[in-house]
Amino acid sequence: MKISMYGVLMLLLVGIAGCGAQKGTTQIKYEKNGDPQTITAPQDGTYALYTASDLTPKVRQKLSKGDRIGFEKTSDGRVRAVAGTYNMILANGTQEAYWKLDKKD
């Protein structure tokens, strides 16, 4: 019984850490079953893309204030992360993804 409670506790802690364990300030978030959205970058800087359990970013993109950043649906129903001219299709099982302002210029 102690082992299974310990395992459940560890899973909860990892799940809670999620986006808080990643460096930077969240600018926009995608949640599975939610509507993907884009915004304009609030300032010049380096923006990093994370999914819920990532400790290192999938990519870093340098953007200027006003560049488009966020998530959008593709014509075939998948979700694409976008930042300026960069785009990447998220894996089908992605539950959450975040663009964070990693470094201000």
pTM: predicted TM-score of the whole model, two decimal places: 0.79
Per-residue confidence (pLDDT) for residue 12, from 0 to 100: 41
Half-sphere exposure of 79 (CA within 13 A, CB side): 23
Q: Which residue type occupies 33? A: N
Mean pLDDT of 62-91: 97
Mean pLDDT of 77-100: 96
Question: Could you state, in order of their start, the residue ranges of all structural domains in the chain?
Answer: 2-104
- pLDDT tens readout for residues 7-60: 444 444 444 444 456 778 999 999 998 999 999 999 999 999 999 889 999 999
Map the chain to HEC letters.
CHHHHHHHHHHHHHHHHHHHHCCCEEEEEEECCCCCCEEECCCCEEEEEEECCCCCCCEEEEECCCCEEEEEECCCCCEEEEECCEEEECCCCCCEEEEEEEEEC
